[in-house]
Amino acid sequence: MSKVCQITGKKVMVGNNVSHSKRRVKRTFLPNLFKKKFYLVEEDRWVVLKVSASGMRTINKKGLNVALKDAKAKGYINNY
Which phi and psi (to 5°) does residue 26 adopt?
-65, 145
Report the Cα 35 to chain-centroid distance in Å: 10
pLDDT digits 0-9 by tens, 24-66: 999 999 999 999 999 999 999 999 999 999 999 999 999 999 9
- Give me the long-range contacts of 58-64 (CB less than 8 A, separation at least 24): 58/7, 58/8, 59/7, 64/38, 64/39, 64/40
**Domain residues of the chain, as ranges?**
13-74
pLDDT of residue 1: 57
pLDDT of residue 80: 81
pLDDT of residue 6: 97
Answer yes or no: is pLDDT of 79 > 90.
no
Which phi and psi (to 5°) does residue 58 adopt?
-65, -45
CATH class of 13-74: mainly beta
The model's pTM is 0.87
